Each structure stands twice: as C-alpha cells, then as structure tokens.
C-alpha cells in the first residue's frame, strides 16, 4: 500500500476556517441589514447573494474566473495592490468557498435576527443605547444560536466545495488541491486507499462538527 | 412637565401587516436617524380593536394635546384608543406626522422646526406592557445595562441598589424567565429608572398581576412618585388603578382626549341625582345595566322613561360599579347632545338615537327640543339652529352624544 497523503485535508480545513471567518463577518452584517432595514432593492440583494446556492458550481466558478482572473476587474485590482494573483492560488480557493457558503450563513442569520422581537431593541433604545451597542448586546446574543448554526453550515459547505474551487484554484497538488479535489483525483488515478482515507476523514470531521454544534446549541438553550 | 401635541394617521392594517418588521433608526448617526421615518408596524395591540368595530374602517388617527406635570397622570381608555401609540410617540418609537413634544421646556420633537431627538437621547423611562426584559441577561445585568456610562464596578453597585430599592435584590442572578410576574415588574421598573429619566412611561404595568401584588406595587409606585416627582404617564383601563394612583387623568377615545381632570371628576364618581337636577342636567333616567365591558371601560344601560313613557332605549355609558341587572341613574346634560336632521355618520359619539320631536320649549337663553326616542330627551339648540334646521313637532331627528357625556348618579 502506497503512502496516504493527508495534506489535502489539512488544506481544506485551512480554507474552510478562513472562509468561515469571512462568511460570518459579512453574512451577519448583511443579515442584519436585510432583516432590520427597509431599503430599495433589499430582496434583489438577498437573491443575488443567495444565487450561488442554486447555480451549478461550474457556472459559479466561471463567473469567479472571469471576475478574479488576471484580466478581470477584481484580479487586476488585486494584482495592482499586492502584485499577487487570485486565480490558481489558495486565496482563490478561499474566495470560491466563501461565495458558495455565504448564502447558507445569510439565510440562517437573517431568519435568526428577524425572529428577535424588535421590542427588545426598542427597549434598549429607550435605555439610551446606541445602535451598535444594541446590536452587540441585544440582537446578536438573542440571535446567536441561529448565527452559530449558520457558521457551522458555512464551514461544512466550505470544507466540501468542489466545482467552483476546481475552476478558480485549479488542481495543483500541494498548493490548491483540497480534499474533495484530491478524492476525485485519487479515484481517477485508481488510488483507492487514498480516496477512502480522505472520504472517511472528511466524513468524520463533518460529523464531529455537526454533533459538537448540536450539543452547543442545546446547551445554550438551557 | 411634559407637553405633548401629537398627530399621526396610521395606515390601514392590511398594508402595514405585509411588512412586519419595524423600521429602526439608522445607526449611521443622529442626523440620519433624526430624519429617518420610524414607521411602526400595525400589529400593535393598542390598535387592533379600533378597526374591529368597523367605524374606524382601517384608518386610525391619533390626535392628542395635553400636558403632564410631575406626578402620576393616568391615560385611560379602551383598547385601541391610542394610549400605547401616545407613549411610543413620546418615547420616540413612533414619529408623529405633526406635533410638539417637550420635557421641562426642552423640545424632543417639533415638526415645525424639524426637531426629532433620537430615542436613545430622550432620557425617557419606558416600561413596556410585556416588560421586554432581556431574556439573555440576569435581572442585575438588565438593570446594569441601563445604567449610564460609569466604571463597571459603580454600574454594578448602582444596579444592585436599584434592585434592592424595588425589593427584588434576591433576583439579581436570575434570568427574567425565572422570576415571578410581580418581581419581573419591579425589575422592569428598576431598569427604566436606571438611566435617570426625566419622564416615566408605564404601559399597563399591573394588568397581569394578582390583586395582592398589585396593591403592593401600587404602594411602592406612590412612594416612588413622592420621592422623584417626575412626570409619570400611566396607561391603564382599570378605574381602580386610575382612582388610586392618579393625580390627573386623561380619557382617550378613538385617538382623542375626550375628558381630562382629576380622576374623581373624570370618572364621574357618583353624584347625587338631586344635585345633578339642581345644576341643570335635564336628562336623568333610571335604567338597568344590560352588560359591562371591563375592556372597553363602558357598560350598556337600558333606560326607562318613567310612568308616561311607553318604551325604553339603550345607551353606552362609562363603566360604573353597578353589576349587570342592577338599576342605575344616568344623567346627560342637554348641552352635550347633538341634534341632526339626517342620520349622522362617521361620528365618534357612541350613542346615536333616532327619534321624533315631541315639543319645542323656548327658554330665556336657549331652546330645548324634547325628542321622543323610547324615553324623552331634551337637547338644547340655539334659535338660529332651530330656524335653519326647520325643527318642528313631529319631525324625525337623530340625537348623538358621547359615552363620557353620560354620568352615573346615585339614585
């Protein structure tokens, strides 16, 4: 039996962790905006951000490639600022995973924030609190279970992204070859034990994550 | 002293229900939130019943103008009269279309000058009907959250002192869910006072409590009132609370102040029938209480016109102590009755009676029209109206008068 390479799994975990961080920050801010503010184009914005959930991953990957590529607007800007590239790098993988995971975060967090009784926020206002204090001390804690669930889903989604990551970051072993791509690669090449090991570990990580979050959520209920 | 003149038209329920989220002031800055339109959802408890009776037909206009000196001012009225909306407008949670709100001479809202102090700068203590204690904080944390910008240790000490003052120091470490209704009420009061407000708004603070706890808290509120001398607006539809606590009372009906004065005056605390006759109240009838509506603060009375009258007529009067089936005496001044030659529509008056002119009586300064409508009513009109309306014996007319124009007398 040949040696089993666990590096792709490590890479996936890194991508998922960074992507979840981005997704939680931007997702919660967007969710608050969508749940508490009434502005022109609110539902259009929600639909736009949710689109990656229903588009084929290849379509999403294509858009990202056009946007982030060396001739794309985002890619050119990034290159001008840092001299680096986005496509076929780990950064590209993080962006692909984030865009795919954002809708899950947004949907859960928006519902969680909308379900916080606005009267608590009104009460805090009469107590002299600023909107930021109210968000941090009242809205956020009361919506925390939903937000935690959203973050968990976002992490799981980022961990398993395949199509968009493949198109944007490519399949460079040791650099951008994440676990799900490595599994495909291993199966294609007939390295069954490598595929099996990654499949088993990915499943285990996902299960542990779900289980731990459920425990956490039910504990905070008490 | 609070000065409040508030006018606001609320959109019909259906529209407002389709967007359940309240629009909130912008966190961007005070400039923005001062101009932001704080629309409120129409799901509010205080408004629903106003539509049910059909007359309001989906549109509700709040139009009040009053002052509240330091001390307890009762806002009394049925559900849907606009009591809660009035409090919300004063707190800044609802933006009036037009008006002026000032505390101690400082304008919080002035539509003519474009003043609209954001809610969090108004220093108005507000105890919501359902208290709105933060469920994720302990009682102590709830109060501490409301204490102003002090070092943490001082904040905590002040919060503790406030809880002690309201006799709920023992609940400090408990979440709102784990304290009793009376205790939660006291925690909410402590929290509302933590920011040293200039005005206290209490929305039916005792409605959900047992009688014994109620009396206890009433005693504490009285003590609080003696010490603070803040203007306290106290919303209730309980006459007992109004009479026990209030130094002044305002009666709201369909978004308007229909009576104001000392609670005893306003609630027509029983007056001797003979006194009423002496002071020139022409319409005094005996009747029987058909039904009482604690909620609306009214009761339905069937009047009997004495020996010579054949029929009876039903009127809505303010809630008194009489039980269903008991006899009461109802008095209405002739000057409080409107006369119409066509069936009136769209009036706020709850008593509209059809009848025929029985007799026209000329008196020195006024003309009394006696109208037969089950019982014989006397309404006063000027000579000019008499001519213009072509009132003569036998003509079909309608009488209209407000619930609060009816007074219950000791017979």
Q: What is the ipTM of this complex?
A: 0.84
Share of chain B above pLDDT 90, in %: 44
**Are both B296 and B205 inside the same structural domain?**
no
**Are both B231 and B284 inside the same structural domain?**
no
Q: CB B93 to CB A38 under 8 A?
A: no
Q: What integer is the mean pLDDT of B81-107?
A: 94
Domain assignment present for B34: yes
pLDDT tens for each residue of A92-118: 999 999 999 999 999 999 999 999 999
For residue B305, what pLDDT band results from cuts at 50, 70 and 90?
low
Domain assignment present for B320: yes
Per CB-CB distance under 8 Å, the chain B contacts of A138 are 134
Q: Could you give the dihedral angle defined by the CA atoms of residues B26, B29, B31 and B37, in that order, rounded to the nearest 10 degrees?
A: 10
Q: CB B119 to CB A125 under 8 A?
A: yes
* CB-based contact B167:B186 (threshold 8 Å): yes
Give pLDDT, residue A220: 59
More confident residue, B296 or B65: B65
CATH number of the domain encompassing residue B91: 3.40.50.300
Fold of A7-221: MetI-like fold (1.10.3720)
Cα B242 from Cα B200, distance rounded (Å): 16
Domain assignment present for B142: no
**Are both B227 and B290 inside the same structural domain?**
no
More confident residue, B20 or A86: A86
3-state secondary structure of B100: strand
Domain residues for the domain of B315 are 271-410
Cα B154 from Cα B159, distance rounded (Å): 8
- Say how many Å lie between the first and final Cα of chain A, rounded: 49
**Does the pLDDT value for residue B175 go beyond 60?**
yes
* DSSP secondary structure, B305-336, as one string: --SS---EEEEEEE--SPPTT-EEEEEE-GGG
For residue B171, what pLDDT band results from cuts at 50, 70 and 90?
very high
pLDDT tens for each residue of A53-88: 999 999 999 999 999 998 899 999 999 999 888 999
Give pLDDT, residue B410: 59
Nearest to B134 among A120, A125, A128 (CB): A120
Per CB-CB distance under 8 Å, the chain A contacts of B27 are 130-132, 135
Domain-terminating residue out of B266, B295, B320: B266
More confident residue, B336 or B41: B336
Per CB-CB distance under 8 Å, the chain A contacts of B134 are 120, 123-124, 138, 142
Give all strands of the β-sheet with B406-410 in edge-to-edge order: B271-272, B406-410, B327-332, B283-293, B298-304, B312-318
Domain-terminating residue out of B241, B266, B291: B266
Give pLDDT, residue B14: 40
Best probe of the B interface among A125, A133, A138, by most B CBs < 10 A, is A125
For residue B33, what pLDDT band results from cuts at 50, 70 and 90?
very low
Chain A to chain B Cβ contacts (< 8 Å): 76
Best probe of the A interface among B23, B137, B145, by most A CBs < 10 A, is B145
**Are both B301 and B403 inside the same structural domain?**
yes
Give every CB contact of residue B157 below 8 A, 6+ residues apart in sequence.
none
CATH number of the domain encompassing residue B335: 2.40.50.100
Q: What integer is the mean pLDDT of B141-146?
A: 96
**Are both B105 and B226 inside the same structural domain?**
yes
**Are both B251 and B114 inside the same structural domain?**
yes
Cα B180 from Cα B167, distance rounded (Å): 13
Domain assignment present for B152: no
Give pLDDT, residue A55: 93
**Does the pLDDT value for residue A221 go beyond 50?**
yes
**Are both B302 and B403 inside the same structural domain?**
yes
For residue B218, what pLDDT band results from cuts at 50, 70 and 90?
confident
Nearest chain A alpha carbon to B128: A123
**Does the pLDDT value for residue B106 go beyond 90?**
yes
User: By mean pLDDT, which of A142-156, B53-67, B137-151, B240-254 is the weakest?
Assistant: B53-67
Domain-terminating residue out of B245, B266, B287: B266
**Are both B259 and B288 inside the same structural domain?**
no
Nearest chain A alpha carbon to B194: A127
Domain assignment present for B174: no
| Encoded tokens for B155 | 């904040």
**Are both B201 and B245 inside the same structural domain?**
yes
User: By mean pLDDT, which of B108-117, B245-254, B305-314 is the weakest?
Assistant: B305-314
Domain assignment present for B188: no
The C-alpha of B366 sits at a distance from chain A's nearest C-alpha, in angstroms, of: 53
**Are both B201 and B81 inside the same structural domain?**
yes
**Are both B215 and B364 inside the same structural domain?**
no
**Are both B317 and B218 inside the same structural domain?**
no
The C-alpha of A110 sits at a distance from chain B's nearest C-alpha, in angstroms, of: 12
* CB-based contact B335:B402 (threshold 8 Å): no
Mean pLDDT (chain B) is 82
User: By mean pLDDT, which of A17-26, A128-137, B226-235, B357-366 is the weakest?
Assistant: B357-366
User: By mean pLDDT, which of B82-86, B107-111, B150-154, B239-243 is the weakest?
Assistant: B239-243
Q: What are the two backbone dihedrals, phi and then psi, of residue B79, each rounded to the nearest 5 degrees? A: -60, 135
Q: What integer is the mean pLDDT of A128-154?
A: 93
- Total structural domains in chain B? 2
For residue B277, what pLDDT band results from cuts at 50, 70 and 90?
low
């Amino acid at each position: 039996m040949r040696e089993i390479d666990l590096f792709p799994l490590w890479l996936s975990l890194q991508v998922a962790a960074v992507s979840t961080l981005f997704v939680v920050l931007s997702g919660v801010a967007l969710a608050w905006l969508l749940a508490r503010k009434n502005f022109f184009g609110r539902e259009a914005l929600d639909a736009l951000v949710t689109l990656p959930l229903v588009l084929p991953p290849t379509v999403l990957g294509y858009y990202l490639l056009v946007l982030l590529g060396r001739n794309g607007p985002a890619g050119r800007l990034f290159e001008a600022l840092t001299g680096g590239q986005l496509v076929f790098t780990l950064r590209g993988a993080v962006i692909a995973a984030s865009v795919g995971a954002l809708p899950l975060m947004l949907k859960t967090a928006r519902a969680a924030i909308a379900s916080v009784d606005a009267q608590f926020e009104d009460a805090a206002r009469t107590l002299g609190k600023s909107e930021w204090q109210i968000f941090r001390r009242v809205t956020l804690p009361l919506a925390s279970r939903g937000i935690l669930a959203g973050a968990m889903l976002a992490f799981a989604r980022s961990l398993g992204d395949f199509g968009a990551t493949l198109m944007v970051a490519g399949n460079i072993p040791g650099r951008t070859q994440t676990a799900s791509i490595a599994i495909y690669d291993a199966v294609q090449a007939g390295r069954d034990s490598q595929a099996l090991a990654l499949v088993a570990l990915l499943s285990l990580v996902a299960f542990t994550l779900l289980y731990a979050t459920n425990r956490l959520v039910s504990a905070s209920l008490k | 002293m609070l000065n409040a003149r508030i006018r606001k038209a609320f959109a019909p329920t259906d529209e407002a229900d389709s967007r359940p989220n309240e629009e909130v002031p912008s966190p961007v800055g005070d400039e923005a939130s001062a101009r932001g339109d704080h629309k409120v959802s129409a799901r509010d408890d205080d408004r629903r019943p106003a539509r049910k009776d059909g007359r309001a037909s989906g549109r509700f206009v709040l139009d009040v103008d009053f002052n509240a000196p330091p001390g307890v001012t009762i806002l009394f009225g049925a559900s849907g009269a606009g009591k809660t909306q009035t409090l919300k407008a004063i707190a800044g949670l609802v933006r009036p279309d037009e008006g002026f709100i000032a505390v101690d001479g400082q304008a919080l809202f002035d539509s003519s000058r474009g003043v609209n102090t954001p809610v969090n700068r108004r220093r108005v203590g507000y105890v919501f009907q359902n208290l709105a204690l933060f469920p994720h904080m302990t009682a102590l944390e709830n109060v501490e959250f409301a204490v102003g910008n002090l070092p943490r240790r001082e904040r905590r000490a002040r919060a503790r002192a406030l809880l002690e003052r309201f006799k709920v120091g023992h609940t400090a470490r408990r979440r709102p869910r784990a304290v009793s209704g009376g205790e939660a009420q006291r925690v909410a009061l402590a929290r509302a006072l933590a920011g040293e407000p200039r005005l206290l708004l209490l929305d039916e603070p005792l409605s959900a409590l047992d009688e014994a706890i109620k009396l206890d808290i009433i005693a504490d509120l009285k003590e609080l009132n003696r010490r603070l001398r803040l203007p306290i607006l106290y919303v209730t539809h309980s006459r007992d609370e109004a009479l026990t606590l209030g130094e002044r009372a305002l009666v709201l009906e369909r978004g308007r102040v229909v009576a104001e004065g000392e609670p005893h005056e306003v609630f027509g605390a029983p007056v001797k029938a003979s006194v009423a006759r002496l002071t020139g109240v022409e319409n005094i009838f005996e009747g029987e209480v058909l039904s009482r509506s604690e909620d609306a603060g009214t009761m339905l009375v069937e009047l009997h016109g004495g020996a010579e009258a054949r029929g009876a007529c039903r009127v809505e009067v303010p809630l008194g102590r009489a039980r269903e089936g008991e006899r009461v005496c109802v008095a209405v001044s002739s000057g409080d009755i409107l006369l119409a030659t066509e069936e009136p529509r769209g009036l706020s008056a709850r008593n509209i009676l059809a009848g025929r002119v029985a007799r026209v009586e000329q008196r020195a300064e006024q003309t009394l029209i006696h109208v037969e409508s089950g019982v014989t009513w006397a309404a006063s009109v000027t000579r000019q109206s008499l001519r213009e309306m072509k009132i003569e014996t036998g003509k079909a007319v309608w009488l209209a008068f407000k619930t609060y124009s009816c007074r219950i007398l000791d017979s």
